Structure 1
Amino acid sequence: MFATVFVFAVENAVARIVCEGTFDSIPAITFTAALHPGWNAGNTMDAIPDETAWGNPPLVNSTFAHVKNAGFNGVRLPVTWTHHMTGETPWTVDNQWLQRVSNVVDMITSNGLSVVINAHHDSWASFDLASPNANYTRYEEQFYRLWYQVGENLACKSSMVAFEPLNEPSGNTKKHAEELNKLHAIFLQAINDAGGFNSDRVVVLGGLGDNAVNLIQWLEIPENITNPYALTFHYYSPWDFTASAWGKTIWGSDADKAALEADFEAVRGNSSSSPIIVGEFGMEVRPSEPGARWKWFDHVVRTGHKNMFAMMLWDTSIHFVAGSPNPWEDPTALDILMNASQGVPNTLADSTEDGAASEQWSSATIFHRGGERGEPVADQSLPFIWNGNTLFSIESTVANAPRLLVLDEDYVLNDPNITFKDRYLSTLFQQFGPPGIKANLTLHFSSGAALQLPAIQWDTPQAGFTDFIVTPENVKTDLPIPFEYKGLDKLATVKARLYNSTYLIDEWTQWLGPLQQGRLTYQSHWDFNASHVMVKSSVLQAVLAAHGAAVLTFEFYPRMRANSVNFTLDVERPPPPPAFLAV
């Protein structure tokens, strides 16, 4: 079924851009293949109200040189237009902003990268389809004017440039989807009316929320479409794992992988001949456990490659920092992604996959407990998922001095394990030694990514204070708590329990596994940096509303009972009434 083309009459909206030179028309499938793997320049041009408002520096040519050198082939350039556009008809976009977008597009393509430009947070800032006050007539007029002007501005760009009308459009009903389908037709009319090479340019169409289910259920391709087109959806599933919600720090079971495969196969099965772009995928890196994270990245990218999807990483997933000489926070994840995108098998660190587990282990880090309760240094056997590979070498770096470990002396192989011998580990760890990162190991295999494993001696972290009185005045701001991490300076999750043994927030988590019950959500309820753990205002307000004390349990890696710290939040209580003496 096809949506009817919407004929929009706008004064002087005629195809008036004429380009010099020629345009190498390409099928959408060729464009999509050229994007893979791709990177989103997020939190920059889409920031509100301007490019640097969310803390990133302006995009420069070296940004995209870094992207290209890292192995990416395409860029999705999210752009928010609302705050650079007049608030009434004729909805004029600021010329300086149009020129800035054009300049960034040229930076991208000059580095040999294909690019998709969109309207990003405008999906809620200007075109909120689900708003109770939505004015679809105004939306349609403004949407035409927006894309007519963008189409004019970029009309003569090469076939390396594609347009995506709207990021994650709001709504969840058939009515909302019908209006989105209408906006797609208006978008196509606008860019074609603008002229230039736009009639042959690739366009990228998605469903409500860029959700795969909505794409399958309600997207209708505009009737008589002449532009080559690809479909798109976003993938952040399972959300509790990718967002570090409710203590979900494990992933990789057969059921986990089957669910991911079913999600992708449903889209491919519904659109067997269409080019498909996963316009965003990724997860929170800072609080996640690397073994689980590496397995997720490998499987999502590998499954995308199998289904011929172009995979576009959202920038916060591996914390790209524009202009940084060392921009990738997790180089192993990046290496895994690049190999998986070409179908090359990666060896992976194994880790806990059982949702009924009460502690979490991982082969992505060599942990040893030191301090006053330190344990004797002993052999450590770490299992790996080999995927047909063999170990080539292990390099251990201490104080910037690398050395190759010796097989049968420093480590032995006993499939599927690598056992690090106490002979070697004793050069790094001491039973009662101080905490810290003692070495960085790089494991090289016959193919695929090299795995970088830190060797960390840990002890139970120490909070600067362990109780706090909540009042109506101090719940308005977050609570920073000084912490000495004593090992890995990273918080895994936070459990919040009232003194009556119920959970402070999300009581329903009682039905989850032991590692998730009563746990809070990263950024919504807690955060951390190199010296502090932050309890969010929302948690303080929940304690105040409960009129009782709560115990927060801060849990660190490795996730085990001995590596957690309790913290008490209580409410301000009135003084007891005066005592009366009997006469």
Structure 2
Amino acid sequence: MSPGWNLGNTLDAVQNEGDWNNPPVVATTFDDIKVAGFKGIRLPVTWAYHFTSQSPDWTVDPVWLQRVSDVVDMITSRGFYTIVNVHHDSWVWADITASSANITAIEERFYKLWYQIGTKLACKGSQVAFEPINEPPGSTAEHGAEQNKLNGIFLQAINDAGGFNPKRAVTLVGIGEDSVKTSQWFKAPDKKFANPWAIQYHYYSPYDFIFSAWGKTTWGSDADKASLEADIAAVRGNFTDIPLIIGEWSASPTSLEAAARWKYYDYFTRTALKYNTIPVLWDNGNDQLNRATHEWRDPVALSIHTNAIKGVKNTLPESTTDGAATVQQSSAYIYHKLNTSVTATTLGFELNGNTLVDAKVAGKTLVKGTHYSVSGKDVTFSAAFLSTLLTPTTKPGEVATIALTFSAGAALTVNVVQYATPVLGATTSKLSATSADLLIPITWAGQSRPATVKAVKSDGGFLIDDWTQYLPTLQQARITYSGQWDWDATHVILKASVVDAVRAAGKTTTFTFEFWPRESGNVANYTLTV
């Protein structure tokens, strides 16, 4: 399975395949995954909306069973291993923590579902593994015990279904597929089952960096690395002789700064392998592979991951890792400010034993000593060369990409960006009477995305998460991407949840949109008045 990839937001969509952001999967998608170097595919499937009868039979629509079987064949015919699961059912009908939960009914339905999946896929060979359920909710030892029971019900069902199932590999789960809860409450299955088994857990940590929360836009300090390693080492330490698989992990190119993201990819991958743990990349169809164009949205991250899997050392761009810093630097970019002189720019790299082999722009090889020079870990691009890419008055935006090839590992890119502070189409409005997203027109002037958003009430208090006062300066009062702020091609967006928070606070609130690079003054304010 290593490295593995998730076909996310597809057969697991609620309610049907195609209802979310991806069309029904086609076989060529798996060709793309093969070319990219992946060996295994996790196949999330939501079954909740495909039952044609109720208790006691819980019959699954045979058309849906056939569709899942057909996709499994698409995968295995290309030489992949695959893990088939029960996905969003975990919160649709199998939530054992719900106040209305009927545990007996959940157990009955769970058995009947897996018996039918097992029967349909009974003749699939050792390339196909099963996972009982995705991220089952829970927070107590009692919940953990019930999940252990469900793991046993799952094993009984597939064994009763016959075929290859009594020999089939399975990845059993703990509460939430969370590493800590799994370590606390997971119990090994009954030895009467002969199925080879592993434990699957998921890893999206640290939360603030992975989910662009509270202004956390850096990663890679010694403390960051130590925390990640401690997490993965702890699970291995608790399950010393059991195969482990991280069935979901990711660091999205949508919102995360490139250099920090690339360092995370590299260190996470190497650390997982150090502790004999298989990583399976989560891909919801928006973050990694563009299935329509067959292109990877961040090919550098992909190359870093696949090289790290092979044990090849990658060169990585230096970037700010000190959380207390008030200005952040990144060697994944050359930022040039509009209406300023073009000067030489030096970028630092973690070479990790590699050397720079060549540099290109638009396929044209740059001349060492003329266009750039190398001194130790630093690469300096001359003012004369950079002046061929932009002038003080070049229109803001991404103007060029420098491709760097090293003696080993992933090739890197450096985006050359002319920037000014973006301009909002309005700077104030009255709080609406109803709950809705607030779309604010913007004219981008550099990278077409914010770095983060700060929200401060008229009395000086923080609109959300007052505890962020104890965080470093560039994280205080910041709110969280996706759930609280977003953007599109022509707007920055305050989500309805944030507008509602202003209403609940009853205070006029100023939102400070911060842009890349994160430096003093590269912001735009918007006031929502009550």
Do they superpose with TM above 0.5? yes
Unpaired runs of 5+ residues, structure 2, are: none
Q: In the alignment, does 2:21 pair up with 1:55?
A: yes
User: Aligned residue pairs: how many?
Assistant: 528
Task: Tell me what 2:117 maps to.
Answer: 150
Matched, 1:272 2:240: yes
DSSP 3-state at the match of 1:315:
coil
Paired letter, 1:554:
F
Q: CA contact under 8 A between 1:73 and 1:113: conserved in structure 2? A: yes
SS in 2 for 1:68: helix
Q: Distance in 2 between matches of 1:322 and 1:386?
A: 30
Partner of 2:40: 74
Distance 2:21 2:128 in 1: 27
The answer as to 2:327 corresponding to 1:366 is no
Note the C-alpha offset of 1:260.
0.6
The match for 1:345 is 313
1:244–1:287 Cα contact (<8 Å) kept: yes
**TM-score normalised by the chain length of structure 1:** 0.89
CA distance in 2, matches of 1:496, 1:472: 20
* SS, match of residue 475 in structure 2: coil
Residue 172 of structure 1: CA displacement? Answer: 1.3
Determine the structure 1 residue equivalent to 2:78: 111
The residue number in structure 2 matching 1:376 is 341
Within a 5 Å distance, the mapping from 1:36-435 to structure 2 comes to 36-85=2-51, 86-224=53-191, 225-316=193-284, 319-321=287-289, 323-370=291-338, 374-397=339-362, 402-435=363-396
**Helix, strand or coil at the partner of 1:533:** strand
Q: Distance in 2 between matches of 1:534 and 1:228?
A: 49
Quote how far apart the aligned CAs of 1:110 are.
Answer: 1.1
- Range with bigger deviation, 410-419 or 175-184: 410-419
Q: CA deviation at 1:203?
A: 0.6
Return the letter of the residue paired with 1:542: A
Distance (whole Å) between structure 2 residues aligned to residue 116 and residue 460 of structure 1: 47
- Alignment of 1:548 onto 2:507: yes
Distance in 1 (alpha carbons) for counterparts of 2:132 and 2:70 = 20
Q: Deviations over 1:174-211 (max 9, x none)?
A: 10011111111111110010011101110111210001
Q: 1:318 to 1:354 in 2, by over 3 A?
A: farther
Q: CA deviation at 1:222?
A: 1.3
SS in 1 for 2:180: helix
Kept in 2, the 8 Å contact 1:93–1:149? The answer is yes
Within the alignment, does 1:441 sit opposite 2:397 as a pair?
Answer: no
Q: Report the identity percentage.
A: 49
Which residue among 460, 464, 469 is the counterpart of 2:421?
460
Offset, 1:318: 7.2
Which moves more between the two structures, 133-142 or 161-170? 133-142
- Structure 1 318/416 Cα, relative in aligned 2: closer, same or farther at 3 Å? farther
Cα offset, 1:407, TM superposition: 1.0
Paired AA for residue 445 in structure 2: K
Task: Give the secondary-structure state (helix, strand or coil) at the position aligned to 2:294.
Answer: coil
Counterpart amino acid of 1:221?
Answer: A
| Pair 1:532 & 2:491 matched | yes
Partner residue in 2 for 1:579: none
Report if the CA contact (8 A) 1:305-1:342 is conserved: no
CA contact (8 A) 2:29 2:294 kept: no
Q: Deviations over 1:305-356 (max 9, x none)?
A: 1122111000049724563233311111111111111211110011110111
1:241-297 deviation digits (Å, cap 9, x = unpaired): 001111111000000001111111111122222111110001332111001011111
Secondary structure at the counterpart of residue 513 of structure 2:
strand
Residues in 2 aligned to 1:327 and 1:179: alpha-carbon distance in whole angstroms: 43
137 and 292 in structure 1: CA distance in 2 versus 1, 3 angstrom threshold: same
C-alpha distance in structure 1 between counterparts of 2:55 and 2:527, whole Å: 52
SS at match of 1:515: helix
What secondary structure is seen at the aligned counterpart in 2 of 1:162? strand
Answer whether contact 2:290 2:297 (CA < 8 A) is retained.
Answer: no
Q: Distance in 2 between matches of 1:424 and 1:379?
A: 9
1:490 aligns with 449
Aligned to 1:362, what secondary structure does the other structure show?
coil
* Deviation, structure 1 residue 481: 1.3
Task: Give the counterpart letter for 1:108 in structure 2.
Answer: I
- Give the residue type in structure 2 aligned to 1:437: E
Q: Would you say 1:558 and 2:524 are equivalent positions?
A: no
Q: Which whole-Å CA distance do the structure 1 matches of 2:288 and 2:43 have between them?
A: 14
Structure 2 CA distance, aligned partners of 1:501 and 1:252? 32
Q: Structure 1: which 5+ runs fail to align? A: 1-34, 572-583
Cα deviations by residue, 1:467-520 (Å, 9 ceiling, x for unpaired): 1110323xx211111111111111111001112111111111111111110001
Deviation of 1:550 (Å): 1.1
Deviation at 1:300, TM superposition (A): 0.5
* Distance in 1 between residues matched to 2:45 and 2:239, nearest whole Å: 28
Aligned residue for 2:87, secondary structure, equals coil
Determine the C-alpha separation between the residues in 1 that align with 2:521 and 2:395: 17
Give the distance between the partners of 1:435 and 1:387, measured in 2 at CA.
34
> Could you tell me how far 1:435 is from its partner in structure 2?
1.0
For the 8 Å contact 1:147–1:190, the answer to whether it is kept is: yes
Q: Secondary structure at the match of 1:562?
A: coil
What value does the CA root-mean-square deviation take over the aligned residues? 1.2
Alpha-carbon spacing, 1:494–1:429, altered in 2? closer, same or farther (3 Å): same
Q: CA 1:321–1:331 in structure 2 vs 1: closer, same or farther (change >3 Å)?
A: closer
Task: Tell me how far apart the structure 1 counterparts of residues 216 and 36 of structure 2 sit (CA, whole Å).
Answer: 29
Query: Once the two structures are superposed, what CA deviation does each residue of 1:531-579 show, in whole Å capped at 9, x if it has no partner?
Result: 21111111111222222211111111111122211111101xxxxxxxx
